Amino acid sequence: MRKFDPKRHRLPIFNTDGILLVDKPATWTSFDVVNFVRSRFNIPKVGHCGTLDPAATGLLVLVLGKFTRISNSLSGVDKIYSGSLRLGIETDSQDMDGNVIRECDTAGITEEALRNTVMSFMGKSMQIPPMVSALKKDGKKLYELARKGVEVEREARPIEVFDIKVDRIALPDCDFTVHCSKGTYVRTIASDIGSKLGCGAVLTNLRRIASGKFSIEDAISVDELKTIEQPELKEMLEKFLYGKALKIAAEAAGK
């Protein structure tokens, strides 16, 4: 891909700094969203604060211009997700994008057992990251190794689930909401729930609804972004920035 050059654009360079909350659609990578915003509005510097898997949807926090300097601070916050899992299936990616490696009968699993198992994941624990992740092993990203059929040993990492609740059970499916620390893999929580029940489980849906104090309610969709121009974007950024974004950003940066 050719390196982005803001001078090769039909629009003037967009110099307004700020924070843009985008509702990421399914199949788009986080970088796809960043690249779209950067190219669509001719913005030299755009970054994101916390990757979402391509299949996942929801809140993606983008930082524009000078705000890219605090992207790490805005990334290192807790997140809230709504998700769905299905019992009786295991895949090599812990979600529906992977290859099925095991299927199991779930007839003996009760709603009470499932609910209790989900609730048992509340609190601090050690989690083994999935192979399909951007973490690195000996300088190589795990998902790159996974694509080659290579599986390596991963060290468990500390995570914390501040809250988790069951929203709906329709066996073998379960909808849930989880509030967790940075670096928590929800797909792994779903897989571990299945392992604890003895029947396996896979994540079938994931949507980020909050990142720190930023909420999906304030996000704009990609389709909406396609309909606005630079002046509307500038107005949107300034309105949000001088509303609550600046305060949240300052708190995240420790100011």
pLDDT tens for residues 227-243?
Answer: 999 999 999 888 876 66
Which pLDDT score is estimated for 155?
81
Contact (Cβ atoms closer than 8 angstroms) between residue 90 and residue 101: yes
Q: Which residues are catalytic?
A: 53
Q: Give the other-Cβ count within 10 Å of 198's Cβ.
A: 12
Q: Which residues are CB-contacts of 14 (< 8 A; sequence separation ≥ 6)?
A: 41, 42, 43, 64, 230, 233, 234
- Residue 114 confidence class, pLDDT cut points 50, 70, 90: very high
Contact (Cβ atoms closer than 8 angstroms) between residue 250 and residue 74: no
Q: What is the pLDDT of residues 63-113, one digit of tens each?
A: 999 999 988 888 989 999 999 999 999 998 899 988 899 999 999 999 999
Residue with tokens 């192979």: 131
What is the average pLDDT across 11-15?
90
Which pLDDT score is estimated for 252?
61
Contact (Cβ atoms closer than 8 angstroms) between residue 152 and residue 144: no
What is the average pLDDT across 33-59?
94
Strand-pairing partners, residue 161, are 123, 180
* Cα 154-160-164 angle, rounded to 5 deg: 115
pTM confidence score: 0.87
Under DSSP, the state recorded for 245 is I
Q: What is the pLDDT of residues 132-186, one digit of tens each?
A: 656 555 555 555 544 555 565 678 899 999 999 999 999 999 999 999 999 999 9
Tell me the pairing of strands 100-103 and 136-137. unpaired
Which pLDDT score is estimated for 1?
45
Which pLDDT score is estimated for 94?
92
